[in-house]
Chain A
Amino acid sequence: MFSRVLAVSIMIVALSLVGLPALAADNCQTCHFEFEDEDGASHKFVRDIHGQKGLGCVDCHGGDPSLDDMDEVRREKDYRGVPSHLEVPRFCARCHSDAAYMHEYNPSLPTDQLEKYKTSVHGQRLFNNRDDKVANCISCHTVHEIGDAKMPHSSTHPVNLIATCGKCHSDADYMAGYGIGTGQVDDYVVSVHGVALLERNDLGAPACNDCHGNHGAAPPGVTSLSAVCGNCHAIEAGLFNTSPHEPAFAANDFPMCETCHSNHKILKPDDSMVGTHHEAVCAECHASDDGTRAFAIAGTISEALSRLVTAHGQAGEVLSEAIEKGMMTTDEEFRFKEVDQALIQARTMVHAFDADSVLSRTGPGILKADSVRVNSAALIDEYHFRRKGLGFATLFITILVVALYIKIRRIDRGLNE
């Protein structure tokens, strides 16, 4: 009898312990999970960073999660329901602008998203024009499956961001009336940045937000363009800002980097961009009879680059042959890296648009390349010398072996006789 009572008591205690969390569970999530399919909010929310951090439906939508009747939930005084498109930024900002609250979950996350958003083209149109087509928080971050931008599945991860922005910006019908093109994504994916990010998964390459900003997204203006590009291309931007082009571009409202390199479709630059031939970008503005020295300078820079490229190629070819032949080329390979470096520096110095600056890099580079070529050629000669030496040594040893063999035969014959 006692054992039965004990068993029933234990069972009751166990069921209570198991049942407690069930009673405390989020009824919103429980019901919605049951009635929605896999694309439903409750299913997505399992993957959402808010869900993973322990937040529930009520933290955004309000209401009482212990109620199991939806009508009763709606009658709750703090029930906020589903915000409209125009309400979303402030809806999210309730928490995301509250530094103290956010500190509990992610102290390093900024809390100025709403303020920045207000400065963006999206924010200004939404708040000032009550435009419900422009992007708000959920347009980019999604609803209910929001992920940290560092996570590969997140819509704001750099690799996914291009498609996220392109969702609106590549849709001609959707963008009709805004007066901007819809070819940005198509241009970007073939650009040097797009190839690096999307094909090589190089997360160091810029996505849309790196140039345009994210919450404060806006097209960079003519004056700020070199600052935007200069974030990464600091040396080129620095050279440009002290070059004769800087005041000239400013005076003519030419966007700085974009004038020569384009914007979204920035292709890998090559040396043919510089020079006096008709394909060179220099020739688009300058001519031999424009009364300036610019055309002549472009020709000098182009020729200097061309000579270094030729010297670099010749040295590389001879060095490769020496490597292929198994010679000890460590020193020459090291020196060749200096030639590589000189070429990179010379191409960078083009942004000073000053012939002497470029020549100060191409001159020593050509000398080094010539030295690598000569030394590598000497190594190849050494390779042939070694083989000839081996041939002579083999011949000499073979003669000795034959002579010794004859001597042994003679001695053997003498001993046998």
Chain B
Amino acid sequence: MPANGTDAKLGFYDRAYAWLNERFKIDALVEYMGDKKVPVHGHSAFYYFGGISLFLFIVQVITGILLLMYYRPGADTAYESVRFIVSNVQFGWLVRSIHSWSANLMILAVFIHMFTVYFTYAYRKPRELTWLTGIGLLGLSLMFGFSGYLLPWNELAFFATRVGTGMAGAIPVIGRDILVIMRGGEEVTGATIGRFFGLHVAILPGIFTVLLAAHLIFIQRQGMSEPLHWHDRAETDKKYQRFFPSFLLRDLLVWLIVLNVLAILAVLFPDGIGVVHWPLGTKADPFAPPPEVIRPEWYFMFAFQALKMLPAHVLFIEGELFGILVFTVGGVIWALVPFLDRKTGGQKARYYMAFGWLVLAFIIVMTVIGYVLE
């Protein structure tokens, strides 16, 4: 690559690259990325789930912006505008379908990414902040899901939001204030849509972008975590691939496959399928009786089911409050695990591994009970 773009015999792209390189020192960046290496081992496939989550987030941003052009928040306009989008706007159905499928797949990818990081101890020093920002991104993703669910203002969304926000009201002392702030009043109304809309399209994306940038910078600076058993291995026994171009191109290939899966799902099942579904249905009517079955989205089902199964009182605490307290304590331990589990090997490490499996089993079992047995 020439140092400048003055040679007239060079092609357009070479000249453009040279022009940019002269000003931004891109060669240095390419060289830096070229030196980066990604470990190659039996579980390397899990490295791609972070990238998949990122790709699906990008899809969310693009489709979200497109939906924003026609969506009108408000109790009198939200449902009508979504109906207009899916029935009258060219490819509006596709955009909404992709947005919904992508949201669900993103949450799934984020969960897989988090658990693989956990089970490979990749959260340990020096990646404590990468883990923390990741947990923050998961929390924000869940909030994206919760806030976006209400926006079509249909019957299912209305009652699910009423139940969901009602749970926040069970928190002692501040619960009621949180409920009123979330709903914009005592009940779920048009004011709630305004708040959820602002949260969904402005506040959450802003915070998410900052956290995501930090997360990506941390990963770029520290590289991919190597498996624990590599610590005792000689350098010659370790296998690597270059981040650029080898890993990045593979990432791109996976993105293309995910894009195709997304397209197939969006076209064949525009309203979702099974427990992952978002039919527009009928408009929310606060005075109508609630539907027989009110279920949250699948990624909240484990918490919903667990709270439902708790008795009215546990010890001297209300059942629901007890559940929220346990989830809060569990969530804090989960977020702080890099600071609690520092040593390789030993009994303590096995406890954390067991804790991880316990959490995963709890989520799966409660979700299955929520859908199958109840």
Chain A residues within 8 Å of B, Cβ to Cβ: 326, 328, 330-331, 386-387, 389-390, 393-394, 397-398, 400-401, 404-405, 407-408, 411-412, 415
Contacts and interface: CB of A to CB of B under 8 A. Distances in A.
Given A330-B83, A386-B267, A411-B245, 16 more contacts: A326-B269, A328-B87, A330-B87, A390-B263, A390-B264, A390-B267, A393-B260, A394-B263, A397-B257, A397-B259, A397-B260, A401-B260, A404-B249, A408-B249, A408-B253, A412-B246
A393 B261 CA distance: 11
A99 to B, nearest CB: 41
B242 interface: yes
Given A404-B249, A408-B253, A398 B270 contact: no
A405 B253 CA distance: 7
A397 B93 CA distance: 21
Given A326-B271, A401-B257, A394 B249 contact: no
A411 B246 contact: yes
A342 B253 CA distance: 57
A83 B94 CA distance: 81
30 contacts: A326-B271, A328-B83, A328-B87, A328-B280, A330-B87, A330-B280, A331-B87, A386-B94, A389-B267, A390-B263, A390-B264, A390-B267, A390-B268, A393-B263, A394-B264, A397-B260, A398-B260, A400-B256, A401-B253, A401-B256, A401-B260, A404-B252, A404-B253, A407-B249, A408-B246, A408-B253, A411-B245, A411-B249, A412-B241, A415-B246
A328 B93 contact: yes
Contacts, number: 53
Nearest to A386: B267
A389 B266 CA distance: 12
A401 B251 CA distance: 11
Q: Nearest 4 pairs between A and B by C-beta?
A: A390-B267, A328-B87, A397-B260, A404-B253
Contacts of B249: 404, 407-408, 411
Interface residues of B, number: 25
Contacts of A415: 242, 246
Nearest to B266: A390
B343 interface: no
A284 to B, nearest CB: 47
A193 B260 CA distance: 58
B308 interface: no
A415 B242 CA distance: 9
Interface string B288-315: 0000000000000000000000000000
A300 to B, nearest CB: 38
A406 to B, nearest CB: 11
Contacts of A411: 245-246, 249
B250 interface: yes
B86 interface: yes
Nearest to A404: B253
Nearest to B247: A408
B236 to A, nearest CB: 15
Contact of A404 (B256, B268, B271): B256
A82 B249 CA distance: 104
Nearest to B248: A408
Nearest to B260: A397
Nearest to B92: A328
Contacts of B87: 328, 330-331
A389 B242 CA distance: 37
B260 A394 contact: yes
Interface in B232-286: 241-242, 245-246, 249-250, 252-253, 256-257, 259-260, 263-264, 267-271, 280
Interface in B52-94: 83, 86-87, 93-94
Give the interface centre of B86, B87, B270, B271 by most chain A CB atoms within 10 Å.
B87
Nearest to A407: B249
Contacts of A330: 83, 87, 280
Nearest to B250: A408
Contacts of B270: 326
Contact of B267 (A387, A400, A407): A387
Contact of A328 (B86, B253, B267, B268): B86
A411 B268 CA distance: 36
A80 B95 CA distance: 85
Nearest to A397: B260
A387 B257 CA distance: 18
A157 B84 CA distance: 50
Contacts of A407: 249
Nearest to B254: A401
B175 to A, nearest CB: 38
A386 B270 CA distance: 11
Interface string B136-163: 0000000000000000000000000000
B91 to A, nearest CB: 9
Nearest to A398: B260
A387 B280 CA distance: 22
A417 to B, nearest CB: 14
A405 B256 CA distance: 11
A412 B87 CA distance: 48
Nearest to A383: B267
B222 to A, nearest CB: 23
Contacts of B94: 386
Contacts of A390: 263-264, 267-268
Contacts of B264: 390, 394
A293 to B, nearest CB: 47
B185 to A, nearest CB: 30
A389 B270 CA distance: 14
A331 B80 CA distance: 12
A115 to B, nearest CB: 45
